[in-house]
């Protein structure tokens, strides 16, 4: 029994290694095309660098907005559960969830992540 499991595992590992090796051989680019690696601006050569630095503050604000938006959608089903559960369970779940949200917001505010200019 153990020999059969070992043999099947070995065959699976060998087949996976062969498939990965063949895939890496097939996917190699032999010719690096200058046109494909350059940015496209309506057929003209770009005026400047197409890779401008990205604002990390903007990204952080966007992620915080996304988190709060998703958590609000998690709060909405509590209204439909209100008829099927008692008021204590409903209110304690909602209050706990909102406290976690407010604690996260306070932590972001305290750490200075919400300051746009620093």
Confidence grade of residue 31 (pLDDT, cut at 50, 70, 90): low
Residue 32 in any domain: the answer is: no
Residue 47 in any domain: the answer is: no
Residue 118 has pLDDT above 60, yes or no: no
Distance in angstroms (rounded) separating the CA atoms of residues 115 and 112: 6
Query: What is the structure's pLDDT at 74?
Result: 78
CB 68 within 8 A of CB 60: no
Residue 98 has pLDDT above 60, yes or no: yes
Residue 84 in any domain: the answer is: yes
Distance in angstroms (rounded) separating the CA atoms of residues 24 and 30: 12
Residue 102 in any domain: the answer is: yes
Q: 3-state DSSP: the chain helix, strand, coil percent, rounded to 5?
A: 70, 0, 30
Give the mean model confidence (pLDDT) for residues 20-48.
69
What pLDDT, in 10s, does the model give residues 19-29? 999 888 887 66
Using alpha carbons, select from 92, 67, 71, 70 the residue that is nearest to residue 81. Answer: 92
Give the mean model confidence (pLDDT) for residues 36-58.
67
Range of the domain at 95: 56-111
Residue 70 in any domain: the answer is: yes
Residue 50 in any domain: the answer is: no
Residue 108 has pLDDT above 60, yes or no: yes
Residue 19 in any domain: the answer is: no
Quote the number of domains for the chain: 1
Residue 66 in any domain: the answer is: yes
| Torsion, CA 75, CA 81, CA 83, CA 86, rounded to 10 | -90
Using alpha carbons, select from 31, 34, 61, 57 the residue that is nearest to residue 45. Answer: 34
């Amino acid at each position: 029994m153990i020999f059969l499991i070992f043999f099947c595992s070995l065959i699976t590992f060998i087949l996976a290694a062969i498939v990965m090796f063949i895939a890496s051989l097939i996917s190699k680019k032999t010719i690096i095309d200058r046109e494909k690696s350059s940015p496209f601006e309506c057929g003209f050569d770009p005026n400047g660098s197409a890779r401008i630095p990205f604002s990390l503050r903007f990204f952080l604000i966007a992620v915080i907005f996304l988190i709060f938006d998703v958590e609000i959608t998690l709060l909405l089903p509590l209204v439909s559960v209100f008829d099927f559960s008692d008021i204590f369970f409903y209110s304690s779940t909602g209050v706990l969830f909102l406290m976690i949200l407010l604690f996260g917001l306070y932590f972001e505010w305290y750490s200075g992540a919400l300051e746009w200019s620093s």
